[in-house]
Chains A and B, each alone.
Chain A
Amino acid sequence: MFPANPFPIDKNAKLYYRVVIKMENILEIKNLEKTFPEVQALKGISFCISKGEVHALLGENGAGKSTLVKIVAGAQTADPGSEIFYRGKKVYFSTPIQAMNDGISVIYQEFNLVSYLSVAENIFLGREPLHPWGAINWGKLHDMTHQLCEPLGLHIDPGARIEELGVAQKQMVEIAKALSQKAELLFMDEPTASLTDEETQKLFKIIRDLKEKGVTIVYISHHLEEIFEITDTLTVLRDGEWIGTKPTKDVTMDELIQMMVGRKLVDLFPGRDVEITDEVLLDVRNVNRGDEIQDVNFKLCRGEILGFAGLMGAGRTEVMRILFGADKKDSAQIKIKGKDVTINSPVDALKEGLALVPEDRKDEGLVMELPVDYNTTLGNMNGVCKANFFIDHLREFEVVQKYIEEINIKTPSHHQVIKFLSGGNQQKVVVAKWLFIPSHIIIFDDPTRGIDIGAKFEIYKLMNKLVGEGIGVILISSDLPEAMGMCDRIVVMRGGRITKVLQKEEFSQETIMKYATGG
């Protein structure tokens, strides 16, 4: 409707102007505001994205990145007064489909796939190739899917159902879906959160290819190394405010962290001063399930954090779910503190003091429709009940308050429905929930997936505190620096078997990858 104003009047005028004259802008955001019932998520954000660049959007959890993406893509509406210019034209998308038709695609951090449909059906949902008489052309559909997935290194049957896939595979399907829509402006919200390094490199290659074809990419990630590797420009948000937009090469890692958190962060991993004793907390033998998991044995000693590394599908999560009684098994002998235990269900596991913080917070960790307090105490209602049955609301309030303060959960109130919190704060609630369950051993399955440095650091500190209290901690991590920084020993798995147990002094990314890939 209105031509883009070449002389914008706003507080960020200087920078904005500089970017404007440099290149053609595909997207200009002016004074974007968004208010939720109890929080203002975006406070007047203005910046531009140039055509054909890879633009990083950075900030801690709750900074407003996801909200911004959703507004641009038409999944949410902005407050009145906000303006978005796309290809020089003022736009107002009220549905994601409108945005998609104009070439804006989003790969969301949370999966938006239909579990009971196949990979091919999900990718081309609503755009299936048809026979002349109107029926779906399955052959062509599967061929198209195949052509799309092969370059991504996604070697799966196009007819496989989504529910059969692991997290990383789902992520790749999301990427394939967005690519199939022939996007001009592609948002990637944490695309590598569940990918291994190898898969990440494949994704980067795809990003570079897309860039050459003139696609503009907005890349959101908490892995700062990736930002420096792949992006041209970066924009930092903090608490819903615009902090700065700069060419990536002009920024150092320290400056970037300072922009994001507003202070300097000295160490990525907190140190821990706990003596590792010989006392075996957990002794696992003979975990088997068909061809999938074979002969897994390991021990966890008091005072150590035991890491599990491996590619996706290596069986790490599966082993832990078997230990926790969540899945069926052929055999498993488990000793906790020297005592033989039988675990056939999560109820048994929790009774024996074995807790598993699940991998997928949306599907397994939280009840999204319920408020923060309900979710926090759900695993240990006896802890807030009188006579193990009648809820003591005051005690519940105190418990939740304690965790909100301790791990710094940002929520407007205890009664906030959890789906309105940002991803990192949701993850903190997941952790709080499992901390509140009294246990001897806590297994963390990728606890820092998709959360910011500050929140990661707090979760690491918590793990150290747990170890200090004599609780056994197992950390499954897809992030190698994290596994190496936090763990005392790392168990490497491949194809459902343990290929190597590495001691601290043997740690290196190359060694781990060697055993993980079998190379």
Chain B
Amino acid sequence: MEESNETKETKKTRAKPKMRIPEWVGVLVGLILIYAIFAIVCHKTGKPQFTSVDNMINVARQISMITIVAIGMTFVIISGGIDLSVGAVAAFSGVIAAQTLLATGGNTFLAVLMGLIAGAAVGVFNGFIVANFKVPPFIVTLATMIGFRGLAFIRCGGRPVPIEGIFLKIGEGEIFNIPIPVIIMLVVIAAGWFFANHTKWGRYVYALGGNEEASRLSGINVKFMKFLVFGMGGLLAALAGIINSARLGSGDPKEGNMWELDAIAAAVVGGTSLSGGRGMIIGTVIGAIIIGVIKNGLDILGVESYTQMLIKGSVILAAVLIDQIRKDENVRDYSIKCIPWVLGIIAGLIAKRFIPMSWGWIIVILIIAAIGVGGHFVMKSFKKK
């Protein structure tokens, strides 16, 4: 008895590092499904341009700014905070960069630098207040969101500051047919992923969000980490703001509206936990792509923008609910888990016959999701009784 126990244990502990299935695979499957459905619908309705390479690059350009902001946001959320000021920071930095450009007579390098410094400074300011005065990040960044939006307007008197010259290339230039914003986005994604998974500061961000007191007692400099995380959030927001103003040809204080919410949505769809301690950069990127693909697909199908908002909201909700079900350990039998989804698909297909609009498929998907999610919880409550 004793001996067999021992051999069993030695066998167990002699493990080699094994590959893990990353958590973002679930989100990736969601992305592929959504893309496939749009592809089918677009081809059926005579709009095959959806699957063209040009359109893919187009989607990438559309999401590049939100993705950059969302990566900064992901770090802030993982560390247990939230940053509502990113949209205002983007506008503020865009204005600062444009004004520096005017003042220096076209020195693009200095303009970008000043814009980035301005954004990072706002971020560090957020971090400073959060770390030193223990004010909840939601409130601090709500205040800076309002304040710096105002400051952006004050700086330029409410009028967009025009941008000229090589600066514009940041927004519309291309290298080997790939837009520069997309290249910047790819660099930021790579750097963010590396930072999160391969540096000790990245590790500390997770620890901080998971348990601040334990992190402090482990000798982590909690204040510095908060400066860093919020500073990074501000820096990336500024970068996105600069790209945006270069694309528009002006530093506009009205820009960056609702960016914070889009960034949070991308992070959450990508599996980041708003309570901190959990999240993945890749997941956030996939989340941003999902939102971008939906918007692009609906645009191509000619769905009006109000309906788009409704659909976008529904998809975010569905994504989060489905993720929750995937993790629900109370119902672990997959054959049972499938029942409501099969029912949902049948109901959806029947419903499709009565919906004439070209984007009726979206409603079908939502019906499937509603029946699937609802059925899961109904089943769960029955199972217990």
Contact = CB atoms under 8 A, between A and B. Distances in A.
Interface of A: 36-37, 77, 92, 94, 262-263, 324, 326, 345-347, 349-351, 356, 358, 363-370, 374, 378-379, 381-382, 385, 388-391, 393-394, 397, 401, 404-405, 408, 413-415, 433, 437
Contacts of B197: 391
Contacts of A365: 214, 217
A120 to B, nearest CB: 26
A401 B13 contact: yes
Nearest to A400: B17
Contact of B216 (A92, A346, A408, A414): A346
B384 A390 contact: no
B330 interface: yes
Given A94-B384, A367-B207, A367-B210, A326 B200 contact: no
A433 B330 contact: no
A397 B13 CA distance: 12
Contacts of A346: 216-219
Contacts of A393: 17, 198
A391 B13 contact: no
B257 to A, nearest CB: 33
Contacts of B219: 346-347, 349-351, 379, 437
B2 interface: yes
Interface of B: 1-2, 5, 9, 13, 15, 17-18, 20, 197-204, 206-207, 210-211, 213-221, 273, 277-278, 329-330, 381, 384-385
28 contacts: A37-B329, A262-B2, A263-B2, A345-B221, A346-B216, A358-B217, A363-B214, A364-B213, A367-B207, A367-B214, A368-B210, A369-B273, A369-B277, A369-B278, A370-B206, A378-B214, A378-B220, A381-B200, A381-B204, A382-B200, A389-B199, A389-B200, A389-B201, A391-B200, A401-B13, A404-B13, A413-B15, A413-B18
A389 B219 CA distance: 15
Shortest beta-carbon contacts, A-B, top 8: A94-B384, A367-B210, A381-B200, A350-B219, A369-B277, A379-B218, A367-B211, A369-B210
A379 B218 CA distance: 5
A346 B221 CA distance: 9
Contacts of A94: 381, 384-385
Contact of B385 (A92, A351, A356): A92
B20 A415 contact: yes
B215 A367 contact: yes
A389 B200 CA distance: 6
A437 B20 CA distance: 27
A385 B200 contact: yes
Residue of A94, A369, A389 with highest tally of chain B CB at under 10 A = A369
Given A381-B204, A414-B17, 15 more contacts: A77-B384, A346-B218, A349-B219, A363-B213, A364-B217, A365-B217, A367-B215, A368-B211, A369-B211, A369-B277, A379-B219, A385-B200, A390-B200, A405-B13, A437-B219
Nearest to B1: A262
A326 B216 contact: yes
Contacts of B384: 77, 92, 94
A433 B207 contact: no
B5 A262 contact: yes
Contacts of B218: 346, 378-379, 433
B199 A326 contact: no
A363 B214 CA distance: 7
A381 B385 contact: no
B339 to A, nearest CB: 16
Contact of B203 (A350, A366, A378, A437): A378
Nearest to B276: A369
B217 A326 contact: yes
A391 B277 contact: no
A378 B199 contact: no
Contact of A390 (B2, B198, B204, B211): B198
Nearest to B18: A413
A232 to B, nearest CB: 29
Contacts of B210: 367-370
A246 B296 CA distance: 70
B211 A363 contact: yes
